[in-house]
Amino acid sequence: MPRETLEGYIIMKRPDWLKVKIHDGPKFIETLRVIKENAVRTVCDDASCPNLSTCWANKVATFLIMGEFCTRNCGFCNVKNGRPLPLDRDEPERIAQAVRDLDLRYVVLTSVTRDDLPDGGAQHFSDVIGAIHKLDPEVKVEVLTPDFRSCMDSAIATVLAAKPVVFAHNLEIVRKFHHIIKRKPSSYEISMDFLKKLCGKVTTKTGIMVGIGESRRDVLDCIDDIANIGVEIMTIGQYLAPSREHPHVARYVSPDEFDEYKDYGERRGIKLVCSGPLIRSSYMARESFHLVCNLK
């Protein structure tokens, strides 16, 4: 499938199943207006998500909190690495107002990693959830957090106390490439330990990307690891390089192979595996939560 090589970077033509329909109708424009007026960030935009226009057209967004700079520099990610600014104490109220303006009933919160903060930003997650619930206690909130490496137990307790309905933490990459792509101080073992601490306390979720060089066996082994600790929701999607500076796509995984991973994971006991080329960790999050609740 390689089409040409530019300075050692392999460019491959995207298959038809990765073509995304662009939406720019009234709902998309309204979502953009609310996000700009409330001066909030979304991971849809910062991480160059391929589903941005689809989600925004349906007035759904995943909010990115705690600034634009991440203290880590993972190889797959398009979020900026650098020295973060102090936390914006008005951010929780602005996000809550954006949720109200968009009339959202289900909200996903994620963040840059903030190793510079004593609690990794756990209290800020709690503050944002609290601000949303203050305006409307019925809004359901899902969180996708970093590993809170230096204060994992206390940080998890802080976020859980705010009562998210789903607590997610992404493995991102199979074990074989974790140290190369996600990079230290992250580790596959730390992320697995994090997920273990969540299981049984809240609906748990994790996700990986494929197409970066792993084998089918690598993916199946990762699914086994996730099933063995009791994670309830797993997402599997195609890795897409955000730029020529990022690791290139080794291959485009076929829809049939994604279906194979879904079937395998659910046979292993994961309640819901969302697996497909354009699946991302927060895509169809509301529908996934309700489906898993109906399975309990």
Let me know: does 27 contact 59? Beta carbons within 8 Å: yes
Amino acid identity, residue 262? K
Q: Give the separation between CA 216 and CA 98, rounded to whole angstroms.
A: 41
Tell me how far CA of residue 176 lies from CA of 86, 143, 233, in angstroms.
35, 26, 22
Let me know: does 232 contact 204? Beta carbons within 8 Å: yes
User: What's the pTM?
Assistant: 0.88
Let me know: does 93 contact 64? Beta carbons within 8 Å: no
Cα–Cα nearest to 207, from 151, 149, 284, 155: 284
Count of structural domains within the chain: 1
DSSP track, the chain: -EEEEETTEEEEPPPGGG------SHHHHHHHHHHHHTT-EEHHHHTT-TTHHHHHHTT--EEEES-SEESS--TT--SEESPPPPP-TTHHHHHHHHHHHHT-SEEEEEE---TTSTTTTHHHHHHHHHHHHHH-TT-EEEEE----GGGHHHHHHHHHHT--SEEE---BS-HHHIIIII-TT--HHHHHHHHHHHTTTSEEEEEEEE-SS--HHHHHHHHHHHHHHT--EEEEEE---SSTTSPPP--PPPHHHHHHHHHHHHHTT-SEEEESTT--TTTTHHHHHHHHHHH-
pLDDT recorded at residue 69? 85
Contacts of 289 (CB under 8 A, 6+ apart): 106, 140, 142, 165, 166, 203, 233
Q: Which domain holds residue 112?
A: 2-295
pLDDT recorded at residue 55? 66
pLDDT recorded at residue 157? 98
pLDDT recorded at residue 23? 58
Q: Is the pLDDT of residue 6 over 60?
A: no
- The predicted model gives 43-71 an average pLDDT of 70
State the pLDDT confidence band at 1, using cuts at 50, 70 and 90.
Answer: very low
pLDDT recorded at residue 235? 97
Place of tokens 């392999």: 10
State the pLDDT confidence band at 117, using cuts at 50, 70 and 90.
Answer: very high
Instruction: Determine whether 96 is exposed, middle or buried from the number of CB atoms within 10 Å of its CB (0-12, 13-18, 19+).
Output: buried
CATH number reported for the structural domain that contains residue 285 in this entry: 3.20.20.70
Q: Is the pLDDT of residue 296 over 70?
A: no
